[in-house]
Amino acid sequence: MADEFSVQGGVFKNKKIPILESSKGHSNFTTSIMKKAIFSMIDSHVMSGDLLLEEAFFIDLFSGSGQMALEALSRGFNKVHLFEIDTKRFSGLKKNLSQYSDNMIFHHKDSFRYYDKIEENENFSLVYFLDPPYTFWEGGKMLELIEALKAMKNCRMIYIQSPKILKDLKEDGRRFGNCYITELN
pLDDT band, residue 21 (cuts 50/70/90): low
Query: In angstroms, rounded to a whole number, what is the distance separating the alpha carbons of residues 72 and 9?
Result: 9
List phi, psi (to 5°) of 76: 115, 5
Spatial contact of 127 and 61, defined as CB atoms under 8 Å apart: no
Nearest to 56, CA basis, from 72, 79, 28: 79
Which structural domain, as residue segments, surrounds residue 119?
4-184
* ∠ CA 55-59-64, rounded to 5°: 145
Which pLDDT tens digit goes with each residue over 138-161? 878 888 999 999 998 889 999 999
Q: Is the pTM of this model over 0.85?
A: yes
Number of compact structural domains in the chain: 1
Query: In angstroms, rounded to a whole number, what is the distance separating the alpha carbons of residues 133 and 141?
Result: 12
CATH of the domain at 128: 3.40.50.150
Output the CA–CA distances (angstroms, integers) from residue 126 to 56, 115, 135, 153, in the order listed. 6, 11, 26, 9
Residue 51 or residue 136, greater confidence: 51
pLDDT value at 1 more than 50: no
